[in-house]
Amino acid sequence: MSDVDLAPLADRKKDSWYDKPFSLADRKNKIWDAVTDRNLFVALRRKPQYQRFVGPGEEMFQMLKWLHGEPEDPHNIVVADLQRWIGPSPKGEGLVLGVPVTLALLSKLLETAPLKKVLLWQATKLVDDPRCLAFEVKDRWRALLMGHDKKKDGLPSFDLGAPEPVFFDEG
């Protein structure tokens, strides 16, 4: 997990603190390396590899809430099953727990997962938005992925019981 580079997940706009990963100390004084691009949030608990967070205090407190919120109705999933469903060249959108998500962002987020199995849940209460998914390996990794408002009709859906691969045209 110490070799995971969070920099590729950062927002590339150079005008804000979102442009690079950072370290956070939580209320238990555990250090987390984290990154956000406003659509996803990924945090790894490890020896810090980035500078301390220098953004607004309000944002820091929000991220600490995300780190410590309790999972609601979590599902144990095998990361490889979700990656297989996304496919080798993720394009477009899909539904995970009824949340429409961009598959390329989901794929990038899963690349940071430290174990083969993770918890997955709809994070409505954690972020006050029904379009958010949360992922966790307790005390090691937590990630949030914001969904979008696009129509759900016709989108492929990840089945928690028996996921099947989805293949997208390359055109």
Query: pLDDT tens digits, the chain, 171 residues: what are they?
Result: 567 888 888 766 666 667 889 999 988 889 999 998 878 899 999 999 999 998 888 989 999 999 989 998 999 999 999 999 999 888 889 999 989 999 999 999 999 998 899 999 999 888 888 789 999 999 899 999 988 777 777 888 897 764 444 444 443
How confident is the model at residue 2, as a pLDDT?
62
**Structure confidence at residue 14 (pLDDT):** 62
Q: What are phi and psi of 59, to 5 degrees?
A: -65, -40
Edge-to-edge strand list for the sheet holding 93-96: 99-102, 93-96, 157-158
How confident is the model at residue 171, as a pLDDT?
39
| Structure confidence at residue 21 (pLDDT) | 92
d(CA 41, CA 56): 16
The pLDDT of residue 129 is 80
Residue type, 13: K
Contacts of 116 (CB under 8 A, 6+ apart): 78, 79, 80
* CB distance 133 to 145 below 8 Å: yes
CA-to-CA distance for 27 and 45, rounded, in angstroms? 13
State the pLDDT at residue 163. Answer: 44
For residues 136 and 114, what is the distance between their CA atoms, to the nearest angstrom? 10
Please state the pTM of the whole predicted model.
Answer: 0.85
Q: What is the per-residue pLDDT for 22?
A: 94
Distance CA 157, CA 138 (A): 26
What element of type H or E holds 81?
A: helix 79-86
Neighbouring residues of 3: CB distance < 8 A, sequence distance ≥ 6:
none
Which pLDDT score is estimated for 107?
93
